[in-house]
Amino acid sequence: MALARTRRGGEGMNYWPGFVDALSTLILSIIFILTVFVVVQFFLQQEITGKDTALTRLNAQIAQLTDLLSMEKTGKADVEAQLSQLRASLSLAETERDKLKGAAEGAGAGLSAAQGQAAELSTALEGEKRISARALAQVEILNQQLAAFRRQLAAIEQALDVSERKEKESQSRIADLGQRLNIALAQKVEELTQYRSDFFGRLREILGNRPDIRIVGDRFVLQSELLFDVGKAELKPEARTEIDKIATALLELGGKIPADIAWVVRVDGHTDVRPISGPIFKSNWDLSSARAIAVVQYMVSRGISPQRLVAAGFAEFQPLDTATNDDAYRRNRRIEFKLTER
């Protein structure tokens, strides 16, 4: 009743409706801002979650971009922390609002204090708005950086696709070239085999059928006693006649073999298993190598190109006969001529 009388006595100064309207507007504004923040947080969380799933496709070539994304995630965490602080501030504002409402209902005298607190709350809300604006700006920067990151990923994937296609094409070309090379080599080997047969046939004609000169597989074999004295590496005078015949046949053949076939005649020296030692030759390696070199040097003096000759010593380690008798020793002491590829 007293309140009613007060209202009737002071109809010209009625503060109550205006206070209620202002407080309602304030409450609605707070609720609207809170709703906007919640929606922004939801969409921000959805967008960041979608971007995180794309990051798993990175590999070692984009490690630096991963570091950049990690920094941006740290910024996102700061934004979330700021939004959490904003929620706490809004909750505090609601609490203060409830207190002000109770105080206003208890006494009209507390209206001025409530208005002051409301002004403080408005100021705080403005500050929170500015914080929210900064947070939204950071989110926008994050979105731009993620967009740039996706473009870089697309460029890297495109470059990888191009590289893979080029690698497949290269492998295909290499396989084709390898097949062609094998065919060409097989043809050259076949040609060389034919010339080897001609060479051995010509040597048979020149040297005749002699027991100390024979063909073993793809090699033309002369016994060492035909060319050298025992334990020596100097050609005997009669050995030069035999080597002259081989050089003549080789010169005739060399003019027939095409220039694109890389051929050589390998001269191999072999000894028997019995060891040798002395002031000149320390081992069978030395003796077999020296005899092969002596034959090669003489063939060079007869006009054979040094580029077509190879000297090799095998000592006693490639025997034709593994027996331990004089016949086996004699067979194993030999000089072999082999027409082969270089």
Q: How confident is the model at residue 193 (pLDDT cuts 50, 70, 90)?
A: low
Residue, of 149 and 144, whose pLDDT is higher: 144
Could you state, in order of their start, the residue ranges of all structural domains in the chain? 16-170, 193-341
Query: Is residue 295 pLDDT above 80, yes or no?
Result: yes
Helix/strand/coil (H/E/C) assignment for every residue in 51-97: HHHHHCCCCHHHHHHHHHHHHHHHHHHHHHHHHHHHHHHHHHHHHHH
Euclidean distance between CA atoms 236 and 272, whole angstroms: 20
Q: In the predicted model, what is the mean pLDDT of residues 164-178? A: 75
First to last CA, the chain: 128
- How far is residue 274 from each of residues 14, 233, 270, 335, measured CA to CA in Å? 137, 17, 12, 17
Least confident residue range of 185-199, 247-261, 291-305: 185-199
Amino acid of residue 132: S
The predicted structure's pLDDT at residue 326? 92
Least confident residue range of 30-39, 92-101, 151-160, 305-314: 92-101
Specify the pTM: 0.44
Helix (H) or strand (E) holding 112: helix 111-207
The predicted structure's pLDDT at residue 4? 47
Least confident residue range of 27-31, 64-68, 159-163: 64-68
Euclidean distance between CA atoms 115 and 111, whole angstroms: 6
Phi, psi of 257 (to 5 degrees): -70, 130
Euclidean distance between CA atoms 165 and 68, whole angstroms: 30
Q: Classify domain 193-341 by CATH number.
A: 3.30.1330.60
The predicted structure's pLDDT at residue 5? 46
